[in-house]
């Protein structure tokens, strides 16, 4: 694998070079917020690399869009027209954070489980992840507690480090190598001093992570709290909105709806959330999760107990978005810490 | 600065009452510039309660948010009162809820708390970064913020929410118990923000809203936090029949936001919670402010100021303007 550098001021040139062979997605400034999107002429401006620690919406929306047409249909002769994305397309995601890339590896398990989901999987296959190491993590970040870290390159194809005037690039996979070769005329060779600067940055960034949680024992403990009043201290102030789940890079629930016009229509799927009342409402009107207590319990237990039981990995990467954006300070670290401290009486 | 000892003592007295089953106030958050709403059920929890300019949330929202799941056969519902802390703006929400008969006056015990303004976390983070202050207080016309042992004084407009800079009701309009002394009105509302926005041409306004609405992820945090959005089933998320599609695009998002703001005409008490909670930074109050001014100018109506009032849309006055009727 190879390493390179390029001048930071030449980012747009670099993305232009990439765009010759790839559809390029990057963090964009969209009416005040940073969100990943396709880089297009006349579209929203590129966010500066130090404009964001974590984008407001995680880049999961690139592989799993909030609203996605599965197929279209027409009355009469038209039949159905599937909208499965092309696995052979070449898409580059520039500036993704290590935690958000790690989330893809977690969601892979779900979308490749009993029914391999071609919509997610084809996009995943066609996407090259050019990650950007964090140099100033948020006060709500806790990635180091979940096997990640601000400079973790394990789930990336190319890792980038912002060294001030220069960006250091290191290829991690063959996919990443191929991409760098396609723009090699825009890259310069790196020197050992660059590597040293990156290593220093890694150490410094990890030391800036202020929050942590010891996840030992949590997957086993949460089911024991199923009927415990424990959850009320959090659900009493829960608004029941979709912020924590929609902005979670590993939340992956969706609803499927038919949208019918007069002569044609589409079947589409859109993000859904276990925090909404209608998520578990049965056709009969009965709701097995009747209040926000059960819904709060489900969100936390799914991430920290059910998912690890089914797939062997906690469905959280510590990006901190659910903490940062929660309007009522429901803090998942706080919940987990308190869950460990609760004493549960043995049955009988 | 409100005396925290007095606040906790009065909270303790209220939650100790036999006819009160829960009390809604604020406690310290786990990080950042905002406190957390607190729902306490036992006098021992009253020592967690606080009040300072980080107590932004509107406790009135939690009165109507409380769910009433079906009870097992033979179990009687607990109909005792709810205690609720209220700043001036929060008290307007309580009043408006009662005007609409969401509940009766004797359902709540109001602990009024005169307020000189609360922090806008977006402004504060811009100034101070992603940090947690040790202390936030208002002193004269300045806001004092202590971070890492270092005290800094800033102007009110630099860190307080826009609603506070035009606040005419810093003292609760209703209360059963009052914490601290009343404070002086801070400013008048001249609606200059609405004037400013109205200078835009229709095309510019549409361009503006197109950009803003296309960001919306329809998490419904603006609706859920709103003390006036308490319908058991919202028309927007209704499935049978479905009036608004679940797909998230400019058309459905626009429909959602216009629907919501119209449903708030003559009802919005301007606590700004919708705008505060929006994770996509959509300036939702810009819509509500225009309706607030229209309602005030056309019908001389100000919601949430009089418990005895009728809701705007159920009251008729022969003098009401009717230029729009052909």
The tens digit of pLDDT for each residue in A120-141 reads 999 999 999 999 999 999 999 9
Cβ contacts (< 8 Å) between B61 and chain A: which residues?
A: 239
pLDDT of residue A345: 77
> Which phi and psi angles does B137 have, rounded to 5°?
-145, 160
Q: Residues A89-129: pLDDT tens digits? A: 999 999 999 999 999 999 999 999 999 999 999 999 999 99
Average pLDDT over residues A83-93: 94
The ipTM of this complex is 0.95
Return the pLDDT at B187: 86
User: Which secondary structure element, helix H or strand E, spans residue A33, and what is its range?
Assistant: strand A33-38
The minimum CA-CA distance between B5 and chain A, rounded to whole Å, is 23
Which residue, A212, A223, A213, A265, is CA-closest to A69? A265
Residue A172 · residue A158 · CB < 8 Å? yes
A80 touches B: beta carbon within 8 Å: no
Cα B4 to its chain centre, rounded Å, is: 22
Q: If you count residue pairs, one on A and one on B, with CB atoms under 8 Å apart, how many are there?
A: 111
Q: Which residue of B has its CA nearest to A325?
A: B279
Nearest chain B residue (CA) to A137: B130
In angstroms, the separation between the Cα of residue B39 and the nearest Cα of chain A is 6
Is 70 exceeded by the pLDDT of residue A346? no
Residues, chain B, total? 326
User: Which pLDDT does position B240 carry in this prediction?
Assistant: 84
Which one, of B209, B206, B258, B214, lies nearest residue B236 by Cα?
B258
Averaged pLDDT, A287-297: 96
Out of B29, B35, B224, closest to residue A239 by CB: B224
The candidate with the shortest Cα–Cα distance to A243, out of A302, A143, A314, A327, is A327
> Quick check: B240 contacting A, CB < 8 Å?
no
Distance, CA of A256 to CA of B173 (rounded, Å): 47
Taking chain B (326 residues) in runs of 10, the rounded mean pLDDT of each run is 92 97 97 97 97 98 92 92 98 98 97 97 95 94 95 96 96 96 90 97 97 96 97 90 93 96 96 98 97 94 96 88 75
Contact A242, B220 (CB under 8 A): yes
Closest CB to A331 among B30, B69, B280:
B30
- Hey, which residues does B153 pair with through a beta bridge? B144
Q: Which of A67, A239, A257 sits opposite B221 (nearest CB)?
A: A239
CB count in 10 Å sphere of residue B183: 15
> Does A319 reach chain B within 8 Å, measured CB to CB?
no
Min CA distance, A148 vs chain B (Å)?
A: 21
Average pLDDT, whole number, for chain A?
94
Tokens of residue B248, six digits:
């998230």
| Per-residue pLDDT tens over the stretch A185-209 | 999 999 999 999 999 999 999 999 9
The answer, for B221 touching chain A at a CB cutoff of 8 Å, is: yes
Assess A276–B contact: CB distance below 8 Å, yes or no.
Answer: yes
pLDDT for B213 equals: 97
Q: Can you read off the two tokens belonging to residue A82? A: 């599937």
3 state SS for B148-198:
CCEEEEEEHHHHECHHHHCCCCCCCCCCCEECCCCCCCCCCCCCHHHHHHH
**pLDDT-based confidence at A347, cuts 50/70/90?**
low
CA dihedral over A255, A260, A261, A264, signed as positive or negative: positive
- Residue A71 is predicted with a pLDDT of 96
Which residues make Cβ contacts (< 8 Å) with residue A284, sequence separation at least 6? none
Of A243, A270, A329, the CB nearest to B221: A243
- Judging contacts by C-beta atoms under 8 Å, the chain A residues touching residue B237 are 276, 278
Q: What integer pLDDT is reported at residue A240 of this predicted model?
A: 97
Check CB contact under 8 Å for A333 and B30: yes
For the cut 90, the answer to whether the pLDDT of residue A163 exceeds it is yes
CA distance B282 to B221: 12
User: Chain A within 8 Å of B244 (Cβ-Cβ)?
Assistant: no
**Is the confidence at residue A348, as pLDDT, over 80?**
no
Indicate which of A58, A239, A267 best probes the interface with B, i.e. most B CBs within 10 Å of its own CB: A239
Closest A-chain CA to B230: A239
Q: What is the mean pLDDT of residues A320-338?
A: 97
Q: For position A49, what pLDDT does the model report?
A: 86
Cβ count within 10 A of residue A228: 14
| Residue B323 pLDDT | 79
Angle formed by the axes of helices A118-126 and A98-111, to 10°? Answer: 140
CA B169 to chain CA centroid, Å, is: 13
- Cβ proximity of B236 and B243 under 8 Å: yes
- Rounded to a whole number of angstroms, the distance from the CA of A270 to the nearest CA of chain B is 6
> Quick count: other Cβ atoms within 10 Å of Cβ B289?
23
pLDDT of residue A41: 87
């Amino acid at each position: 694998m190879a390493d390179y550098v390029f001048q930071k001021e030449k980012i747009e040139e670099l993305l232009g070079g990439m765009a010759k062979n790839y559809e390029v997605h990057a963090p964009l400034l969209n009416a005040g917020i940073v969100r990943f999107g396709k880089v297009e002429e006349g579209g929203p401006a590129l966010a500066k690399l130090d404009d964001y620690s974590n984008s407001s919406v995680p880049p999961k929306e690139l592989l799993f869009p909030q609203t996605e047409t599965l197929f279209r249909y027409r009355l009469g002769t038209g039949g159905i027209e599937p909208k499965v994305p092309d696995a052979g397309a070449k898409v580059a995601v520039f500036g993704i954070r290590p935690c958000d890339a790690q989330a893809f590896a977690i969601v892979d398990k779900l979308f490749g489980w009993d029914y391999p989901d071609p919509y997610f999987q084809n996009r995943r296959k066609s996407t090259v992840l050019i990650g950007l190491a964090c140099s100033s993590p948020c006060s709500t970040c806790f990635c180091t507690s979940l096997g990640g870290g601000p400079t973790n390159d394990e789930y990336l194809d190319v890792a980038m480090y912002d060294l001030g005037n220069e960006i250091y690039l290191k290829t991690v996979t063959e996919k990443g190598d191929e991409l760098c070769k396609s723009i090699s005329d825009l890259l310069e060779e790196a020197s050992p001093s660059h590597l040293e600067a990156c290593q220093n940055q890694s150490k410094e960034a990890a030391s800036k992570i202020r929050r942590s949680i010891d996840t030992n024992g949590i997957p086993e403990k949460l089911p024991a709290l199923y009927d415990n009043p424990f959850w009320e201290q959090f659900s009493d102030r829960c608004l029941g909105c979709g912020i924590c789940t929609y902005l979670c890079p590993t939340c992956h629930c969706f609803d499927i709806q038919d949208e019918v016009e007069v002569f044609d229509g589409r079947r589409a799927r859109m993000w859904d959330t276990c925090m909404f009342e209608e998520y578990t409402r049965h056709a009969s009107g009965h709701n097995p999760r009747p209040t926000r207590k059960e819904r709060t319990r489900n969100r936390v237990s799914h991430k920290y107990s059910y998912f690890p039981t089914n797939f062997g990995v906690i469905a959280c990467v510590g990006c901190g978005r659910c903490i940062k954006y929660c309007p009522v300070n429901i803090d998942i670290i706080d919940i987990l810490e308190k869950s460990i401290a609760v004493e549960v009486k043995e049955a009988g | 600065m409100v005396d925290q000892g007095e606040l906790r003592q009065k909270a303790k007295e209220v939650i100790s009452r036999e006819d009160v089953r829960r009390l809604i106030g604020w406690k310290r958050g786990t990080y950042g510039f905002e406190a957390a709403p607190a729902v306490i059920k036992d006098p021992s929890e009253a020592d967690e309660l606080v009040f300072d300019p980080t107590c932004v949330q509107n406790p009135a929202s939690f009165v109507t948010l409380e769910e009433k799941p079906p009870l097992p056969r033979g179990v009687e519902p607990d109909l005792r009162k709810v205690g609720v802390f209220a700043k001036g703006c929060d008290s307007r929400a309580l009043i408006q809820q009662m005007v609409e008969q969401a509940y009766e006056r004797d359902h709540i015990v109001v602990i009024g708390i005169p307020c000189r303004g609360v922090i806008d976390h977006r402004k504060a983070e811009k100034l101070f970064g992603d940090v947690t202050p040790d202390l936030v207080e208002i002193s004269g016309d300045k806001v004092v913020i202590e971070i890492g042992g270092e005290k800094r004084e800033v102007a009110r407009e630099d860190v307080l929410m826009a609603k506070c800079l035009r606040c005419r009701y810093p003292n609760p309009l209703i209360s059963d118990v009052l914490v601290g002394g009343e404070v002086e009105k801070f400013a008048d509302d001249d609606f200059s923000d609405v004037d400013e926005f109205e200078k835009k041409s229709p095309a510019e306004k549409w361009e503006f809203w197109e950009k803003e609405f296309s960001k919306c992820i329809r998490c419904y945090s603006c609706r859920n936090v709103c003390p006036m959005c308490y319908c058991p089933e919202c028309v927007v998320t209704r499935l049978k029949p479905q009036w608004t599609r679940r797909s998230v695009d400019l058309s459905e998002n626009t429909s959602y936001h216009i629907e919501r703001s119209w449903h708030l005409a003559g009802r919005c008490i301007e606590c700004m919670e919708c705008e505060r909670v929006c994770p996509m930074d959509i300036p939702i109050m810009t819509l509500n402010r225009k309706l607030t001014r229209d309602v005030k100018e056309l019908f001389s109506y100000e919601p949430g100021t009089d418990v005895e009032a009728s809701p705007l849309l159920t009251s008729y006055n022969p003098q009401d303007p009717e230029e729009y009727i052909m």
